[in-house]
Amino acid sequence: MNIGRIIKGVGGNYYVSAKGKIYKCSARGKFRKAKITPTVGDYVQFTILDENECEGALDTIEKRKNILLRPRVANIDCAIITFAATSPDINRDLLDRFLILAETQNIPKVIICINKSDLVSQEEKDAFASIYEPYYKVVFTSAEENILIPESNRQTGEISRKIERGKHTTRQVELLRADDETYIVDSPGFTSLSLDFLQSEELEKYFREFKPYLNKCRFNDCRHLQEPDCAVKEQIGKDINKERYDSFVSLYEELKQRR
């Protein structure tokens, strides 16, 4: 039995990296019957059907330690959530949603990466970093000076002059090999992210800065909204940034209404 990792899935075929090669594999019928979908990032056991043509068939998917639904990718050790510093401006609502998504999957390490940092002032960088540090590592970079995998030759699109946004060129989720132990996920960009898989009451658990103060409120079922003697609200402007608290309230109301 051969062991590898799915790096891409296209048209019902799964491309598995193993033994220094890429094998084009089909999924056996048992996966469809069990309603199991092989996913980019999965570690798998597979049978080689044709070594010369690098073709095979998936036999077993190893137990996943986590999985994101958007982008759909499994077994993530580190999430680097990347936004441009400007053109367009950082979408704080979408950033907070991605952070919550990462928290729900217990991803060990989460980093906020701000690209195009050469286009904003140090004061702007400091103001942004103060919102999320020390709960997350925040790094500022420029793709022109810090390309992670230059040899990948990824397609890029021109910036729209009208809306100052790039155009999506990535069509599917794919793992790009950085070294023997490291892959980087390339995925289509997103302009929205639904959190409707969460209950509104769960949301408090996924704001890291709230955690030291949970279960310290006057009421056991405190939702940190209008209740008196709320330990979370007492920290607004101190250990809890006001903008992050406002984000929590907005998302809480959204989840409550959807339910």
Tell me the per-residue pLDDT of 51-75, one tens digit each, with 9 for 90 and over.
999 999 999 999 999 998 878 899 9
The 10s digit of each residue's pLDDT in 132-169 is: 998 999 999 987 767 666 555 555 555 555 555 555 45
β-sheet with 109-115: strand ranges across? 78-84, 109-115, 137-140
Specify the pLDDT at position 166: 54
Q: What pLDDT score was predicted for residue 178?
A: 84
- According to the model, what pLDDT value does residue 172 have? 81
Q: What is the mean predicted confidence (pLDDT) over 244-255?
A: 97
pLDDT at 176 over 80: yes
Average pLDDT on 196-207 reads 95
What pLDDT does 205 receive?
A: 97
- The pairing of strands 137-140 and 72-74 is unpaired
Residue 215 pLDDT > 70, yes or no? yes
- Render pLDDT for 7-16 as a digit per residue (tens, 0 to 9): 999 989 999 9
Report helix, strand and coil shares of the chain as percent, to nearest 5.
Answer: 25, 30, 45
**Mean pLDDT value of segment 104-117:** 94
Q: Are 99 and 79 in contact (CB under 8 A)?
A: no
131: which 2 tokens? 């919102």
Percentage above 70 pLDDT, the chain: 89
Tell me the whole-structure pTM to 2 decimals: 0.83
Q: Which two tokens stand for residue 93?
A: 């609502």
* DSSP letter string, 21-81: EEEEEEEPHHHHHTT----TT-EEEEEEEETTTTEEEEEEEPPPS-EEETTEEE--SEEEE
Q: Report residue 71 CA to chain centroid gap.
A: 7
Q: Output the pLDDT for position 42.
A: 97
pLDDT score for 70: 77
Separation of alpha carbons 107 and 143, rounded Å: 24
Whether the pLDDT of residue 114 is over 60: the answer is yes
